[in-house]
């Protein structure tokens, strides 16, 4: 049992780190689609794609059944294959590097910036070789990576730049919305993300050639487009022109996502309010490190990462984790460095060259952060962290 202070209150219900917010408008949008002629491969898909593309400022968008499928599609469209290397971060979800393995490529992990926890451009540059085909930048916790520097690296070396923006819909970098910096940008619509379709993902791009490849890939490599057919036997005719997958999104998902997009700016504003309250409450507590934002970024705050100073108290994060969970507050850790996973160890990966990622992993804790949190919920988290820090650091 965790050593909880004697005066520490325990919540009656468990507070998760993330959660969707579905209202009656969202439910009605799905019901209307259920009553319509199409529940898959219908017009709701294109409407949702157009809405996200317009929001992000991109020309094209291709919806997928989930974010991992979308990243797989991006790696396929980038032409990644056997012998190709792709540089990415180890502090991310598995999909950011697994998508390279799916294509037969080799992920190469570069260390993170110790302040922002994003992929460090200088570390990327140090890992580029003649085999490098692409860079996958991850906008960790909602803060965009330094996309101008990464885009220059990609241009100078004729590389494809993919932005894994699963965390950063609604954020901007140097005054530009996420979705306009990379060759392809992926958004995720998992329930803990900024807007949800249940499961879902999307790639936005300004390049027509990539757009056409993505469309083929998500639909069995199949097309009916007369412009692309090698022959045409009649109105029933279709061709499989590449090896693709059934990665399609349904109209039910798209209808929910379209409705959710109307609430995105409000959701992001609430996340920023919560982050500001956390920062104010924790920034003056010895032993705690609040997230630091790059001056050119405006985060959409998918996650709030609080770090515990292990130099002051070794194992502080682990003790704090147990104490917070015992109070029914669903803290988490994002993420275990990918090279630590057994599958990657079998492939020969180690922590070599990633000291910042290792230091981050030992000390980071994710706090609850989602728009449906009440002020009382936020107060519960703040009080619990304050009392936990006092107990651990004996203030």
The pLDDT value given to residue 9:
73
The pLDDT value given to residue 1:
36
Last residue in a domain, options 261, 281, 298: 261
Is residue 14 included in any domain, yes or no?
no
Residues 91-147: pLDDT tens digits? Answer: 999 999 999 999 999 999 999 999 999 999 999 999 999 999 999 999 999 999 999
- 51, 177, 193, 213: the catalytic one is 193
Q: 335 and 189 in one domain?
A: no
Decide if pLDDT at 6 tops 60.
no
Q: 313 and 203 in one domain?
A: no
Last residue in a domain, options 237, 261, 285: 261
Mean pLDDT of the chain: 96
Q: 274 and 244 in one domain?
A: no
The pLDDT value given to residue 347:
98
Decide if pLDDT at 333 tops 60.
yes
Is residue 13 included in any domain, yes or no?
no
Q: What is the domain-level CATH number for residue 354?
A: 3.90.1150.10
Q: 95 and 185 in one domain?
A: yes
Decide if pLDDT at 247 tops 70.
yes
Q: 163 and 127 in one domain?
A: yes
Is residue 2 included in any domain, yes or no?
no
Is residue 294 included in any domain, yes or no?
yes
Q: 253 and 276 in one domain?
A: no
Q: Which structural domain range is residue 237 located in? A: 24-261
The pLDDT value given to residue 4:
54
Q: 137 and 277 in one domain?
A: no
Is residue 7 included in any domain, yes or no?
no
For the question of residue 193 being annotated catalytic, the response is yes
Q: 173 and 34 in one domain?
A: yes
Q: 208 and 133 in one domain?
A: yes
Q: 231 and 272 in one domain?
A: no
Q: What is the domain-level CATH number for residue 80?
A: 3.40.640.10
Last residue in a domain, options 202, 229, 261: 261
Is residue 4 included in any domain, yes or no?
no
- Per-residue pLDDT band for 255 (boundaries 50, 70, 90) equals very high
User: What's the structural domain count of the chain?
Assistant: 2
Is residue 10 included in any domain, yes or no?
no
Please write down the HEC assignment for all residues of the chain.
CCCCCCCCCCCCCCECCCCCCCCHHHHHHHHHHHCCCCCECCHHHHHHHHHHHHHHCCCEEEEECCHHHHHHHHHHHCCCCCCCEEEECCCCCCHHHHHHHHCCCEEEECCECCCCCCECHHHHHHHCCCCEEEEEEECHHHCCCCHHHHHHHHHHHCCEEEEECCCCCCCEECCEECCCCCCEEEEECCCCCCCCCCCCEEEEECCHHHHHHHHHHHECCEECCCCCCCCCCCCCCCEECCCCCECCCEHHHHHHHHHHHCCHHHHHHHHHHHHHHHHHHHCCCCCEECCCCCCCEECCCCCEEEEECCCCCCCHHHHHHHHHHHCCECCECCCCCHHHCHHHHHCCCCCCCCHHHHHHHHHEEEECCCCCCCHHHHHHHHHHHHHHHHHHHCC
Residues 10-69: pLDDT tens digits? Answer: 899 999 999 999 999 999 999 999 999 999 999 999 999 999 999 999 999 999 999 999
Q: 321 and 228 in one domain?
A: no
């Amino acid at each position: 049992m965790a050593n909880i202070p004697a005066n520490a209150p325990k919540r009656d219900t468990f507070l998760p780190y993330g959660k969707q917010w579905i209202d009656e408008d969202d439910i009605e949008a799905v019901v209307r689609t259920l009553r319509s002629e199409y529940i898959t491969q219908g017009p709701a898909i294109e409407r949702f794609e157009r809405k996200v593309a317009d929001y992000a400022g991109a020309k094209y968008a291709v919806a997928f059944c989930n974010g991992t499928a979308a990243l797989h599609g991006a790696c396929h469209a980038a032409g990644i294959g056997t012998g190709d290397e792709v540089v990415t971060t180890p502090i991310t979800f598995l999909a950011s590097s697994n998508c390279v393995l799916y294509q037969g490529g080799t992920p190469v992990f570069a260390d993170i910036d110790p302040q922002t926890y994003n992929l460090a451009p200088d570390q990327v540059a140090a890992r580029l070789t003649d085999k490098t085909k692409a860079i996958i930048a991850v906008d960790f916790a909602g803060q965009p990576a330094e996309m101008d520097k990464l885009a220059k690296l990609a241009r100078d070396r004729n590389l494809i730049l993919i932005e894994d923006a699963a965390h950063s819909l609604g954020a901007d970098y140097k005054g530009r919305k996420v979705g306009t910096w990379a060759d392809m940008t992926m958004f995720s619509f998992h329930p803990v993300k900024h807007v949800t379709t249940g499961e879902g993902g999307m790639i936005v791009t300004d390049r027509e050639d990539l757009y056409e490849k993505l469309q083929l890939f998500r639909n069995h490599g199949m097309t009916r487009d007369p412009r692309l057919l090698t022959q045409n036997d009649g109105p029933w005719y279709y061709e499989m022109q590449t090896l693709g997958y059934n990665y399609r999104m349904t109209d039910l998902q798209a209808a929910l996502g379209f409705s959710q997009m109307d609430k995105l700016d409000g959701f992001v504003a609430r996340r920023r309010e919560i982050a500001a309250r956390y920062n104010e409450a924790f920034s003056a507590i010895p032993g705690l490190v609040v997230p630091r934002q790059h001056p050119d970024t405006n985060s959409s705050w998918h996650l709030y990462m609080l770090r515990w100073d292990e130099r002051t108290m070794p194992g502080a994060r682990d003790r704090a984790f147990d104490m917070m969970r015992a109070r029914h507050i669903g803290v988490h850790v994002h993420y275990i460095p990918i090279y630590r996973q057994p599958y990657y160890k079998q492939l020969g990966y180690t922590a070599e060259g990633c000291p910042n990622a290792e230091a981050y992993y030992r000390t980071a804790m994710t706090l609850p952060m989602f728009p449906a949190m009440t002020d009382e919920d936020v107060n519960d988290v703040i009080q619990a962290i304050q009392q936990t820090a006092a107990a651990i650091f004996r203030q």
